[in-house]
Structure 1
Amino acid sequence: MACMRDNLPRRLEVEEFVVLSSSQDGARETLGGEIFFTRERMNGDIGRARAMMRITQPAALRNSAYLILETDDYLRDGMFVYLPAVARVRRVSGEIADGRLFGTDITYYDFKQIRSAFGDMNAEYVGMSSTQGRPVHTLKLSPDEQVNAGYDHLIAQVDSHTCLPLSLSFYQQGQLIKEASVPANTIVADGDRWYPTEFTLRDLINGSQSTLRTIGFRSSEQLPERLFHPASFYRVH
């Protein structure tokens, strides 16, 4: 868990992405935008994660935005979504957290956990195994019972070299309901850290899937604090 956490970006970064989604009936949709990420500096140390996703396509969702602010108390974690159609910021909590992020198979809660390296989950070490021909640490990760995650635990297979999860299996009452995977050959280095350029999540109940691909990446010396404030994150273009 510490290794996954340490692999989070230590610098400001901007990631251009596209999400390709397909449903069981063959319908396909494309979502594109940018993700801005930083970590708070606390007493000189790099601390809690902050991330903002802004949508640029399709036109119907352009300028929609989603903000996460990690805290030390999961009940106070800040998750906020802005939809131009309703012209208001809404706090994401309760049942909303299990909702689909802008129509993809990724939920608000999934995005928050992935971007904060599952920092507030209860972790149990299962042992060593292998996937995609690489040695992995197998972990059982469980959200707090008071969190509406949509599942009661997940099994993560974490690459022993890069500290990135290569697969995630989501279970609810013993049933496998979702699977996520990162092809090992899509992992690239950025200085002393690693990040995946492709991530696929499959909803086994609905028969749909979404693939997030990073198409551009850059570090930034300066990002305005307004990007990470609930009152202004959706206004910064």
Structure 2
Amino acid sequence: MASLDPVLDKDGVRLTVDAAIATVTLTNPAKLNAQSPALWRALAEAGRALPGSVRVVVLRAEGKSFSAGLDRQMFTPEGVVGEPSFTDLARSSDTELDDAIAGFQEAFTWWRRNDIVSIAAVQGHAIGAGFQLALAPDLRVVADDVQFAMRETSLGLVPDLTGTHPLVGLVGYARALEICATGRFVLAEEAVNTGLANIAVPREQLDDTARDLASALLAAPRDAVIETKALLRGAQERTYDEQRAAERAAQARRLRDLAGVGE
């Protein structure tokens, strides 16, 4: 990726912008890009800091692993300094606990906004929260050494960082249940074959492949991409006839826009 002045660089997250392409990089390879509430706040801030000119966002990570999951300190009684421990969260009220988890989820939700297309470039381990972060963008390019695993259930928890919806949408209910309940690794070949990843490439080609895909996504007019993404995202929730109607409405907007005719 090009070396650019960062728009944001804090708590293990760096955001750079090159014209219509933004890059969000996890920058703590010494800890395998382990995740914490501070990193989640920085990811959410990166989403809010995107200039309106950005059409494609690439999520990548420095080092040998994309993200090995939660910072292990979060599992200790003390937790991470300055943050509530899991014990503190468990002892809070229902509203406080729900609000805390909702705040964590904000780092994972903005990637599917209709005005951008997002790509995760994933290498090495993507475990637990790392797997869920890789699931947050629209598309995934993976290195041939990728190892996905959803370990929350094995720890007596559930995946709560928005990963369950895209996982079921990509691989289906039965496979998603098996992946989550067993905590097993999903490697590159299976990821591509099941639709979890769009393409697998040698590790040294990962960044270039993500960048090439980002450039290709810029070829179509922005408004057409926005309308198409909205159609596809809503397809599973609509009936066949509702989807047909949504297609007609979207096409009418595009035709009128291209013809310069107001509605």
Structure with more helix by fraction: 2
Q: Whose strand fraction is larger, Structure 1's or Structure 2's?
A: 1
TM-score norm. by structure 2 comes to 0.29
TM-score normalised per structure 1: 0.31
